[in-house]
Amino acid sequence: MEITLVQGLLLSLLAFICSLDQQAEVFLIFRPIVVCFFSGIILGDVQLGLSAGAVAELAYLGLLTIGGTVPPNPLIAGIMTVVISYTSGVSAEAALGLSLPFALLGQWIGMILSTVYSGLMPIADRICERGDVAALGRLVILSAIGKSLVTAVIIFLSAYLIQEPITALVEKFPEWLIHGFRVAGNLLPGVGLALLLKVMLKIDNVAYLFIGFLIATYIEMGNVLPIAILAVCITFLSYINSRDQKAYDGGVDDDGI
């Protein structure tokens, strides 16, 4: 079945709202199980929305944003699974597979935006130096709206205007360019860590940087909690040592030697 202009606009409005939540990861209405349901309502086929939601949610359940890496976009995958099944009449399972190019496109654009948004940080720094609370608020909100608008446009183009050319485009996209942004995304947190070290690193504690690094390199662990506990233990021991040392020195003084 054909998608009407109104349906296309409503789908992109849905994408806009859910994309705000996808960035914030607060209410989880960007998950396929929810967006498929609402896409089904917009297209007048709630049944399809429910079955597509079940299929897509299970497929994307293993894919979470962890440590700054972005999986194929579950929001775009959810909407496009319903749209493709609705327009072409294929099953939800088959439509999920066909939605992958769109989810990948969403992932790439998300990566590129998160890379480019690094360029906003100096602006944020200047705003903080002025103590301008309202300006920081504007920057935060506008940057979120920017990402959401991009998602809304992708959905409008994909669902209503040019579904087939987009699939073809994704298949022809130069791999090296996408890979280049992935490489940059893997390296850029280094700038943030270097800026942290700029304020934290002192000659007294430089050894601990290497201790933390070596432990994390040689011992596989799910998170850095063990390292944090170890750091607390080390500082506690050195506190006790310095206290005992003081008591010992004090004792010597008391004896009048």
Partner 1 sequence: MMTVSRNKLTKKDITNMGWLSMVLQFGFNYERMQAMGFCYTMAPYFKKIYGDNTEEVAAAMTNNIDFFNTEMHMATFLNGLILSLEEAGEDRELIRNIKNGLFGPLAGLGDAIFWFTLLPISAAIAVSLNRQNSILGPIVFMVIHFFGAISRIPLGHLGYNLGTNAIDLIRENAASITKAAGVLGVMVVGALIPSYIDFSFPETFVIFDVVPVQGIFDTVLPNILPLGFVLFLYYLVSKKNVNAVKLIFGIIVVSIILSYFGIM
Which 168-227 residues touch partner 1, going by CB under 8 A? 176-177, 179-181, 183-202, 204-206, 208-218, 222-225, 227
Of the candidates 23, 21, 55, the one whose C-alpha atom is nearest the C-alpha of residue 36 is 55
User: Please, which residue, 68 or 165, has the CB nearer to partner 1?
Assistant: 68
For CA atoms 84, 92, 168, 183, the dihedral sign is positive
Considering only residues 138 through 157, tell me which ones interact with partner 1, judged by CB under 8 A.
139-141, 143-144
In the complex, the smallest distance separating the C-beta of residue 13 from partner 1, rounded to whole angstroms, is 18
The reply to whether 247 sits near partner 1 by the rule CB under 8 A is no
| Candidate residues 44, 89, 97, 137; the one interacting with partner 1 per rule CB under 8 A | 137
Using the rule CB under 8 A, give the single segment among 7-15, 97-105, 129-137, 150-158 that binds partner 1. Answer: 129-137
Q: Are 83 and 23 in contact (CB under 8 A)?
A: no
| Candidate residues 19, 31, 75, 85; the one interacting with partner 1 per rule CB under 8 A | 31
CB atoms inside a 10 Å sphere around CB 153: 14
Of the candidates 50, 155, 21, the one whose C-alpha atom is nearest the C-alpha of residue 99 is 155
Give me the 107-126 binding string for partner 1, x by CB under 8 A, dash otherwise: -------xxxxxxxxx-xx-
In the complex, the smallest distance separating the C-beta of residue 97 from partner 1, rounded to whole angstroms, is 18
Rounded to an integer, what distance in angstroms lies between the CA atom of residue 38 and that of residue 34?
6
Tell me the backbone φ, ψ of residue 66, rounded to 5 degrees: -130, 130
Contacts with partner 1: how many residues (CB under 8 A)?
Answer: 103
In the complex, the smallest distance separating the C-beta of residue 170 from partner 1, rounded to whole angstroms, is 18
The 3-state secondary structure of 99-166, one letter per residue: CHHHHHHHHHHHHHHHHHHHHHHHHHHHHHHHCCHHHHHHHHHHHHHHHHHHHHHHHHHHHHHCHHHH
In the complex, the smallest distance separating the C-beta of residue 155 from partner 1, rounded to whole angstroms, is 19
Place of tokens 């493709």: 84
Question: How many CA atoms lie within 13 Å of 121's alpha carbon, on the beta-carbon side?
Answer: 11
CB atoms inside a 10 Å sphere around CB 35: 34
Considering only residues 6 through 25, tell me which ones interact with partner 1, judged by CB under 8 A.
23-25
In the complex, the smallest distance separating the C-beta of residue 81 from partner 1, rounded to whole angstroms, is 13
In the complex, the smallest distance separating the C-beta of residue 204 from partner 1, rounded to whole angstroms, is 8
| Candidate residues 5, 6, 128, 252; the one interacting with partner 1 per rule CB under 8 A | 128
Paired tokens of 237: 């021991």
In the complex, the smallest distance separating the C-beta of residue 5 from partner 1, rounded to whole angstroms, is 26
